[in-house]
Amino acid sequence: MANIIEKILSRAAGKKEVIPGEIIEANIDCAMVNEITGHLTIKYFYELGAKEVWNRDRIVMVLDHTIPAASIEAAELHKIMREFAREQKIKYFYDVGRGGISHQIMIEKGHVKPGDVVVGADSHTCTYGAIGAFSTGIGSTEMTAVFMTGRLWFKVPKVMEIKVNGNFRKFVTPKDLFLKIAKILGVSGANYRGLEFKGPTIENMSIAGRMTICNMAIEVGAKAGIVGVDGKTLDYLKDRINEPFFIAKSDQDAEYERSLELYVDDLPPLVSCPDAVDNVKPVSEVEGVELDQVFIGSCTNGRMEDLRLAAEILKGNKVNERTRLLIIPASQEVFLDALREGLIETFLLSGAIVANPTCGACYGAHLGVLASGEVCLSTTNRNFIGRMGSTKSKVYLASPATAAASAIKGRITDPTTFRSD
């Protein structure tokens, strides 16, 4: 009668069972830092006089937030990370050009296994629930404790189950599903909770789609999003992991704090309007809003299936002259696959600019920073005031299909009714 999160946490804590609210200390299977959080962890590590990390094979260090370095300050952070990785002989250090956005490569390169407890000094660490791991974001100081001890305390969360039924219409995506969930729960509706996604729609969903919905669990406050392991998971991991792993599944009679049941057959494309992720409306209600920029990419929607969807719509079309389209594949691997499949050519011919994998555009640091008064439609995960640049700019969040159709029209456009002129 335990749910998947309770099973994973009880195993990591060496206990027979755990109950919601209980404080446990868990063994960490893998820990990830990027350069904007990792430099603090490294500083504290040295301040404490620590000599060696707890396990150099279980720490993944990634440069992704501002790559390649866009300023001397950013370059200094890269240097701190690089030197620490060398000194500590960290096995998995992804330098510029070697990896991409951390959350993509953590799964793509097989650093996360089903059943693992994974922490990352980045809030979107919750993405790895897509393959049945418990993963959550922590701060830099806690990460110092993990670097030193390989352990961390957790409060066992209450878990909400979200059952999803039905088939998406063409050009309606897992992103639209999550925006629907955000509308229902609100931005703090799952605070401190785990979210387990299940049901026929989830069973039919690719790992990429599951990553999108688990990635955005933090946007309703959740500690973790998770999907049970199934054939799709095992298929995806077949060539990526060659160690044994723990397959956790919720029991049939597992207990949940709350259950939500959704049907996607009639779900329209949705858009999250400024300035809150839960300010969600059907695209049809905001159609016509003029756009200065469209961005397709990020840990939320920068994978092959996202790029394929965008290319399907963009092929043979031109980006509207009032709009600029920025496309960023989530990793070097995705970039290469997109190149081989001809997607990059489609993007360039449409008038898009394609940049290297990085988080920069999503959080307003570099590549595509918005000026005052500008409006952007983005496939990312946050539209807080100033998130992508000026505090006088606006961000709408939507799927790659909505983004591509909107880029062609130069205004917010429903991809399900879109016709090129």
Residue ranges that bind another protein, judged by CB under 8 A: 36-37, 39-40, 43-44, 47-50, 65-66, 71, 73-74, 76-77, 120-123, 125, 137-142, 144-145, 148, 187-188, 191-192, 218, 221, 223, 276, 363-365, 369, 382, 384-387, 391
Say if residues 234 and 205 touch (Cβ distance below 8 Å). no
Find the shortest distance in angstroms from Cβ 26 to another protein.
14
Query: Whose Cβ is closer to another protein: residue 47's or residue 421's?
Result: 47
C-alpha to C-alpha distance for 69 and 63, rounded to whole angstroms: 9
C-alpha to C-alpha distance for 405 and 242, rounded to whole angstroms: 41
Say if residues 133 and 107 touch (Cβ distance below 8 Å). no
Strand partners, 34: 62
Tell me how crowded residue 417 is: count the other CB atoms within 10 A of its CB. 13
Measured in whole angstroms, the distance separating CA 314 from the mean position of its chain's CA atoms is 24
Query: Whose Cβ is closer to another protein: residue 21's or residue 342's?
Result: 21
Query: Whose Cβ is closer to another protein: residue 56's or residue 155's?
Result: 155
* Positive or negative: CA dihedral 133, 134, 136, 138: negative
Q: Locate 207 and state its tokens.
A: 């790992």
Decide: helix, strand or coil at residue 300. Answer: helix
Query: Whose Cβ is closer to another protein: residue 37's or residue 413's?
Result: 37
- Which long-range contacts (C-beta less than 8 Å, at least 24 apart) are formed by 77-81? 77/35, 77/36, 77/39, 78/35, 80/35, 80/38, 80/39, 80/42, 80/43, 81/33, 81/35, 81/38, 81/39, 81/42
Residue with tokens 């807080």: 384
- Buried b / exposed e over 368-403, threshold 16 CB at 10 Å, is bbbeeebbbbbbbbbbeeebbbeeebbbbbbbbbbb
Find the shortest distance in angstroms from Cβ 307 to another protein.
24
Find the shortest distance in angstroms from Cβ 360 to another protein.
9
Find the shortest distance in angstroms from Cβ 200 to another protein.
31
Find the shortest distance in angstroms from Cβ 364 to another protein.
5
Query: Whose Cβ is closer to another protein: residue 14's or residue 139's?
Result: 139
E strand residue ranges, 143-277: 151-155, 159-165, 194-198, 224-227, 258-263, 270-272
Query: Whose Cβ is closer to another protein: residue 57's or residue 76's?
Result: 76
Query: Whose Cβ is closer to another protein: residue 153's or residue 263's?
Result: 153
Query: Whose Cβ is closer to another protein: residue 228's or residue 302's?
Result: 302
Query: Whose Cβ is closer to another protein: residue 93's or residue 363's?
Result: 363
Find the shortest distance in angstroms from Cβ 186 to another protein.
9
Find the shortest distance in angstroms from Cβ 385 to another protein.
6
Find the shortest distance in angstroms from Cβ 187 to another protein.
6
C-alpha to C-alpha distance for 356 and 118, rounded to whole angstroms: 26
Find the shortest distance in angstroms from Cβ 164 to another protein.
24
